[in-house]
Amino acid sequence: MQNKITKLLMVLFILFSFTSCELVGDIFQAGMGVGIFLVVFIIAIIIWIFAKFFKR
C-alpha cells in the first residue's frame, strides 16, 4: 500500500512540474511580446520628437 501511494505521488509531482514549466514559458513569451511592443512604441515616439524638432 505504501509503495502504490509513493508511486502515485511521484507521478503527480512529475505531471505538475511539467505543466508549471509550460506556464512559465507562456509567461515569458507574453512578456517578450509586450517588450517588443514597448520598444517599437518608444522608437516611434523618438522619431516623432525628432520630426517635430527638425521641422522648424
| 10-51 pLDDT per residue, tens | 888 877 777 667 777 788 888 888 999 999 999 999 999 999
b/e sequence 31-51, b meaning 16+ C-beta within 10 Å? eeeeeeeeeeeeeeeeeeeee
Q: What is the pLDDT of residue 47?
A: 95
Structural domain boundaries, residue 33: 1-56
pTM score of the predicted model: 0.54
Domain count within the chain: 1
